[in-house]
Amino acid sequence: MARNERDQWNNMLKRLQAYQQGHNGSCNVPKGYRQDPQLAAWVKNQHSRHKKGLLAMERCDQLEAIGFEWKKKVQQSLPYQWTNTLKRLQAYQKEHNGSCSVPRHYPQDPQLGKWVHKQRYYYTKGLLEKERFDQLEKIGFEWKFNCTRASTQLQPPLSKVSKSKSKEPDTREPVRWCVI
């Protein structure tokens, strides 16, 4: 490796450390960071080179030594918003016999259904913060949920004879289905 290239890389590492000091220890320079677009591009390049296996081990070690994370953390909701939604999930759980399986399109609280789906998504991608994972585990959160829809659409029971041939009252049950 040419000395000039090494010096340039070390200079960018120092700029990243300076950024880190001013941003609560974070090395996650936003893509459109106006104060130093060159640094933002460099950080993106390090992620890209690492993903492709082209970043030298020495450089990986240097970045990791300052707390550089290879998986970018997703911008998650603020702690109080997350905690409030967790409380809504616990209320749902009490109403539904201990189940945390809120349908993604839950008409009574659409935001709760989306939130539960996001928690599962973040978990599967390795982006869910440990503290939040622990809180969800504590209440018995189900990480896999195959039933994606619960409909209130009515359908005649399968065992009934057609209405025209039967004098029984029209009893209908909600349709429920699962995607496996």
HSE-up of residue 176 (Cα within 13 Å, Cβ side): 6
Domain coordinates in residue numbering, the chain: 3-65, 79-145, 146-180
| pLDDT for residue 43 is more than 90 | yes
Handedness of CA 11, 16, 17, 22 (dihedral sign): positive
Q: Is 83 or 74 the better-scoring residue by pLDDT? A: 83
Per-residue pLDDT tens over the stretch 19-37: 999 888 888 888 888 999 9
pTM: 0.43
pLDDT bin (cut points 50, 70, 90) of residue 146 is low
DSSP character at residue 128? S
Instruction: Report residue 173: phi and psi, to 5°.
Output: -120, 150
Query: Comparing C-alpha atoms, which of 84, 116, 94, 89 is closest to residue 103?
Result: 116
